[in-house]
Structure 1
Amino acid sequence: MEKEKLLELLEPQAPDEILDVIRDEVSELHPATLADLMDQFEDEDILPIFNTLDLEQKVAVFHHLSESTQQHLATTMRFQRLVKLVSLMSHDDRVDLLQSLDDDLKETVIRSLAKAEREDILRLSNYKEGTAGAVMTSDYVWIYKENSVREAIKKIKREAPDKETIYTIYVLGENRELVGFVSLRELMLATLNDKVEDLMTTDLVSVDATDSQEESADLLSKYDLIAIPVQDEAGRLLGIITFDDVMDVLEEEATDDFHKMGSVSLGKMTLADASISAMIIKRLPWLLILVFMNIFSGAGIAYFEDTIEAVVALVFFLPLLIDSGGNAGSQAATLMVRALATGTVKMKDWFRLLGKEVLIALGIGILMAVAVSFIGFYRGGIEVAVVVSLTMMIVVLFGSLVGMSLPFGLQRFNLDPATASAPLVTSIADIGGVLIYFGIATWYLGVGV
């Protein structure tokens, strides 16, 4: 369906039979597809289109809308409709929505909800951002271990329509402690008089509410789970983290790592929604730091003024050489940050990878040195060619080792390896490149400083 066709629902003169056809087509669309269409509309058209949907469609489509569109709808729709929508949303989604609204509207909506919903929202909102508790949902099915299969199935049938997932049923003890789980398939294949405790699996994979989101995502991926239970310190079941929630976490983490590699972090903002002032504030600090770091490059050039005056041809190769070191360092840092993020490389691998990187960088450096030696000979003769070649080999080695080691060093001190951004690595490589280049030139050419 095209965007323009959907807008026909707002035409006051459109014949009823045409509108009925469009509504039928809309009802057959997947909620994610319809949400993609609605995200393309101008603000003034979003709410009228949204209001043409039935309540079940609204809840399904709202889940897939962008955060900015969700906020627009929440702040423009009638209050009672907002309360009804929130009450029908999945438990974790409604917490995310309410936390994105201003405090007054958030509190008013919460006060208008049923007591059980209020308590659920407040409990889920108490967990620190970035923890498993912050992304879990209390929308799951549980049974007691003493239940029979007949009792369990009866409870599941009663609760299933309102639950996010029913494929894994969590089994609790008398104090609500998590003691195992049973699959829906196992229950369906068992006899009705069987006891749940005879069917359940007790080999649990779970996380604490205070564990990181990344740890939850790693365990879900490692054990191929649909959902992972979240417990408190006493082992009581608090909620579950589903696979789709983990996908959102992984997307956020990957985006954040990409931003950090560019020395900028937008947090919860998106590039489209961030204001000009916010973007300036987010991007300026690291740029200022890097400006002052590059003063050292200027100081290095000033220190070797005599060398430069003696062999002016050296200046021609300065950008080429220091950029090569920075580029090699950025490559190494990118590979290492990603490897650390995915867990394919550990701290214990540093020494082994250091030796490997030395060989790789030397191989790259020698080949690049051979390539640039011809230009050096053409521009300044054999002596300049030797200086440029030696420098190329060493700056590539230096930049690569900085790019590989910096993420390891940051992780060693419990800092995010992604902070080893390309601009930071490049700036360090630039400073080293200037000192290496003119140091070799001064030594080899015999020019006094």
Structure 2
Amino acid sequence: RPGALPVDLDLHDVVAVGTRRAVEVWLETTTDPRTRADEVAELSDREVRTLVGLLDPTTAEHLLASLEPHAAAEILHVVPAPVAAGLVASLDPDEAAELLRVTPDGERAALLAAMPVTRSATVRGLLAWPDDAAAAHMNPEVATVRATMTVGEAVDALRAQPDSATEGGGEVYVTAPVEGGVGEALLGVVTFRDLVLAEPTVLVASLMRDDVVTVEPTADQERAARLLRDQRLAALPVVDDGLLLGVLSGDDVADIVEQETTEDAVRQGGAQPFDVPYLRASPLLLWRKRIVWMLVLFVTATMTSSVLQHYEDELDTVVALMFFVPLLIGAGGNAGTQITATVIRAMATGGVRLRDAGRVVRKELSTGLLVAVTIAAAGWLRAWTSGVGGEVAITVAVAAGAIIVWSSLIASVLPLLLRRVGVDPAVGSGPLITTLVDATGLIIYFTVARVFISALGA
């Protein structure tokens, strides 16, 4: 029809059209957050300012909430502080806090100062918590009612509360004022369904359930996420000394789990996590996050060359031993990496705790023995068919089995040991375990060779 907008608008088209309806059409048709972020990144500063001028509170919240915080922060950076503060204020408090965490300190202070006083105070409260604390990710706007209210009064009270206060996953929290008027004490919880189905004159107290699962504000975000998942909760209230501070929703937990999983994956690769998306990370930042562990692993790897130098005479006497060095240390490293990946994941999901160390070691040693026998047989067959002689073949077989068992022991103990001393166990997998097994595996190999090869003086 005349004046109708095409459904395949990109953001450049939206800015060129210059209407709020164009923004709404683009948001309706461009639903992928990554596509939105890419199109925002392609805009010039002038186009970003034009786009911001076309946003209303609803479309501003819709756009910013769908973008990764660093992408949203780039929008704030090119508009005046009062305008940027208005955009941040359109978000729920927890989303606003996540966005402000990635903005430079100076910009953050200016934005907080320009925001409405009440919203600024709420967001400042969230920013005061450590980044990895449960309270840093909660929404402090919680749907609450009083136990002394009737159902009719409670429904009226809920209607008067902001939309973000309904993030209880179908539940409403029953609270009572505390002496001095600072905060609300959590008494229990009642479901929206019970409120809807009950008679208007029924008291909320008669519908309330008081066995509420809660988490303290300083709890590690990963533990809070695991608690919500394990208890199959729709939301998790954050409570400090009986006072209800906020609630963690399923969306919050999904973000936490994704963040923790990403950090573990990066650490398992022998690097430090970085706070920006990969495509936004500069080569210098990637270098800084990787180089420390690269140097540590490089120095540690010199143990391997030192071991080879120490056994130089054995290699000169039986050159065939050198042929199987990559095979044996590779098998040991692979076995160790498999175990650490399994154990670390089990630790991350709460399936393994420090008190389970004995069970983990027994399980992995038993499995390691089975793997060792299989690999030893394969190693003997490979050496025998290579024509290196019976003594070298049996050496390879025995050494392969011993290295697998040794690797199983080290890999099952190391993550638990690191957790015990307060180090993230993810750093004990991958490159580190491989490097350790390489050096110790060579010692095992040449020790076995001295026993089984007559030319080495056994």
* TM-score, normalized by the shorter chain, greater than 0.5: yes
Preserved contact between residue 7 and residue 26 of structure 2 (Cα < 8 Å): no
Preserved contact between residue 91 and residue 137 of structure 1 (Cα < 8 Å): yes
CA 1:5–1:131 in 2, change beyond 3 Å: closer, same or farther? closer
- Listed as ranges, the gaps of 5+ residues in structure 1 are none
SS of 2:131's equivalent?
A: coil
> How many angstroms does 1:232 deviate by?
1.5
1:255 aligned partner, one-letter code: T
CA 1:238–1:10 in 2, change beyond 3 Å: closer, same or farther? closer
What is the 5 A alignment of 1:208-357? Answer: 208-233=216-241, 235-357=242-364
1:325 aligned partner, one-letter code: G
Give the counterpart of 2:36 among 35, 38, 45.
Answer: 38
In structure 1, distance between residues paired with 2:54 and 2:202: 48
Task: Tell me what 1:80 maps to.
Answer: 82
Task: Tell me what 1:202 maps to.
Answer: 210
SS of 1:159's equivalent?
A: coil
Task: Tell me what 2:181 maps to.
Answer: none
Greater displacement, 407-416 / 147-156: 407-416
1:305 aligned partner, one-letter code: E
In structure 2, distance between residues paired with 1:286 and 1:155: 56
Give the counterpart of 1:169 among 168, 172, 180.
Answer: 172
What is the 5 A alignment of 1:47-58? Answer: 47=48, 48-49=50-51, 51-58=53-60
In structure 1, distance between residues paired with 2:276 and 2:28: 33
1:277 aligned partner, one-letter code: L
CA 1:380–1:4 in 2, change beyond 3 Å: closer, same or farther? farther
Runs of 4+ in 1 over 4 A off after TM superposition: 1-6, 48-53
SS of 1:272's equivalent?
A: helix
In structure 2, distance between residues paired with 1:2 and 1:437: 67
1:323 aligned partner, one-letter code: G
> How many angstroms does 1:298 deviate by?
1.6
CA 1:27–1:280 in 2, change beyond 3 Å: closer, same or farther? closer
Preserved contact between residue 81 and residue 114 of structure 2 (Cα < 8 Å): no
Greater displacement, 46-55 / 166-175: 46-55
Give the counterpart of 2:415 among 402, 407, 417.
Answer: 407
> How many angstroms does 1:203 deviate by?
0.7
CA 1:10–1:236 in 2, change beyond 3 Å: closer, same or farther? closer
> How many angstroms does 1:8 deviate by?
2.6
1:276 aligned partner, one-letter code: P
Greater displacement, 371-380 / 182-191: 371-380
Task: Tell me what 1:376 maps to.
Answer: 383
CA 1:119–1:53 in 2, change beyond 3 Å: closer, same or farther? closer
> How many angstroms does 1:172 deviate by?
1.1
Preserved contact between residue 43 and residue 72 of structure 1 (Cα < 8 Å): no
Preserved contact between residue 387 and residue 444 of structure 1 (Cα < 8 Å): yes
In structure 1, distance between residues paired with 2:341 and 2:106: 43
What is the 5 A alignment of 1:52-201? Answer: 52-165=54-167, 167-175=170-178, 176-201=184-209
Task: Tell me what 1:386 maps to.
Answer: 394
Preserved contact between residue 35 and residue 62 of structure 1 (Cα < 8 Å): no
SS of 1:238's equivalent?
A: strand
In structure 2, distance between residues paired with 1:68 and 1:292: 36
Greater displacement, 73-82 / 276-285: 73-82
SS of 2:188's equivalent?
A: strand
Preserved contact between residue 209 and residue 232 of structure 1 (Cα < 8 Å): yes
1:159 aligned partner, one-letter code: Q
In structure 2, distance between residues paired with 1:139 and 1:69: 25
Aligned length: 441
SS of 1:264's equivalent?
A: coil
CA 1:258–1:86 in 2, change beyond 3 Å: closer, same or farther? same
In structure 2, distance between residues paired with 1:342 and 1:161: 32
In structure 1, distance between residues paired with 2:227 and 2:88: 30
In structure 2, distance between residues paired with 1:192 and 1:128: 43
Task: Tell me what 1:420 maps to.
Answer: 428
Preserved contact between residue 7 and residue 29 of structure 2 (Cα < 8 Å): no
CA deviations on 1:23-75 (whole Å, 9 max, x unpaired) are 66435447xx1533321224325725565444312211211112231111011
SS of 1:380's equivalent?
A: coil
Task: Tell me what 1:9 maps to.
Answer: 14
CA 1:141–1:133 in 2, change beyond 3 Å: closer, same or farther? same
CA 1:356–1:105 in 2, change beyond 3 Å: closer, same or farther? closer
SS of 1:237's equivalent?
A: strand
In structure 2, distance between residues paired with 1:341 and 1:281: 26
TM-score by length of 1: 0.92
1:43 aligned partner, one-letter code: E
Preserved contact between residue 7 and residue 25 of structure 2 (Cα < 8 Å): no
Q: Percent identity over the alignment?
A: 27
SS of 1:369's equivalent?
A: helix
CA deviations on 1:102-140 (whole Å, 9 max, x unpaired) are 222211221122221122122111111211111111121
> How many angstroms does 1:413 deviate by?
2.8
